[in-house]
Amino acid sequence: QVQLSESGGGSVQAGDSLRLSCEASGRAFSRGTVGWFRQAPGKDRVFVAATTRGYRHYADAVKGRFTIARETDTGTIHLQMSILKPEDTAVYYCAAFDGFCTATSCRDRRLYNNWGQGTQVTVSS
């Protein structure tokens, strides 16, 4: 069983940047797929980004502003968020599963069987 822990959330102004981090414990997670999802108040949890088999996939809403990256030595996954907008406000969740996905299937949260507790990101205008 993998335990995921997110960090790096906070309150910022529109146009600012934040970097979220996801660390895994319990079992090394140097392979497989790791993704980020977010859930705004009253809305469904939606896909943000994923890294799988060396590929990176992004939701259209964040493409060009967010970057997902995996640290080779630690396995920590980062989500670098730039040019933040008020609509980026949400709880951000790290998720992982021991397999690979395509640009389409990575967006399906049902593939992910390990989830963190989430970290709040609030962007003010």
CA gyration radius, the chain: 13
- CB contact at 8 A, 34 and 22: yes
Q: What pLDDT score does 80 carry? A: 98
- Average pLDDT of 85-103? 96
Whether 125 shows a pLDDT value over 90: the answer reads: yes
**41 vs 8, 89, 98, CA distance in Å?**
19, 9, 29
Q: What is the mean pLDDT of the chain?
A: 93
Contacts of 64 (CB under 8 A, 6+ apart): none
Residue 75 has pLDDT above 90, yes or no: no
CA distances from 16 to 1, 27, 37, 67, 80 (A): 35, 34, 20, 14, 11
The helix (run of H) or strand (run of E) holding residue 91 is: strand 90-97
pLDDT for 2-40, tens place per residue? 889 999 999 999 999 999 999 988 665 667 899 999 999
What pLDDT does 30 receive? 65
